[in-house]
């Protein structure tokens, strides 16, 4: 059975809108309790952003993304991580139980 995101659609839409504005070139994966189960209303949303053209290249714009998420009206904490800055052991854990949250809306420059 494929993982399912435990997040109200209106919150997901708000996060997607901010991602589209701030990091349109990023591939975004969700992981953590909202994917594997056990989430509650106040659980955070864990996201990892990847540069689909080069997984080892850090993404630009993460600071602005984090600021936009914190200033939004989305009532949950959204934790954002850059794939290129995470250790390989964390990559392995994320790959085990994650789901694609958003494909890039424009190619990486």
- Options 6, 20, 44, 54, the catalytic residue: 44
Domain ranges, residue 51: 9-102
CB 12 within 8 A of CB 48: no
Is 3 a member of any domain?
no
Among 89, 85, 95, 98, which residue's Cα sits nearest to residue 33?
98
Q: Quick check: is 90 in a domain?
A: yes
Active-site residue among 6, 46, 54, 88? Answer: 46
Q: Encode pLDDT of 35-57 as tens digits.
A: 998 998 889 999 999 999 999 99
Q: Please say if 46 is a catalytic residue.
A: yes
What is the total count of domains within the chain? 1
The pTM score is 0.92
Structural domain contains residue 17 = yes
Q: Does a structural domain hold residue 26?
A: yes
What's the pLDDT at 12? 95
**Has residue 2 got a pLDDT over 70?**
no
Q: Is 78 exposed, middle or buried (0-12, 13-18, 19+ CB in 10 A)?
A: buried
Catalytic annotation present for 44: yes
């Amino acid at each position: 059975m494929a993982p399912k995101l435990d997040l109200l659609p209106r919150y997901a839409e708000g996060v997607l809108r901010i991602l589209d504005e701030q990091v349109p070139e990023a591939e975004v994966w969700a992981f953590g309790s909202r994917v594997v189960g056990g989430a509650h209303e106040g659980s955070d949303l864990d996201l990892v952003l990847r540069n689909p053209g080069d997984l080892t290249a850090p993404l630009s714009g993460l600071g602005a993304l984090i600021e936009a998420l914190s200033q939004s009206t989305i009532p949950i904490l959204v934790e954002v991580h850059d794939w290129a800055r995470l250790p390989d052991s964390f990559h392995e854990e994320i790959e085990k139980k994650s789901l694609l949250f958003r494909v890039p809306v424009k190619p990486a420059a």
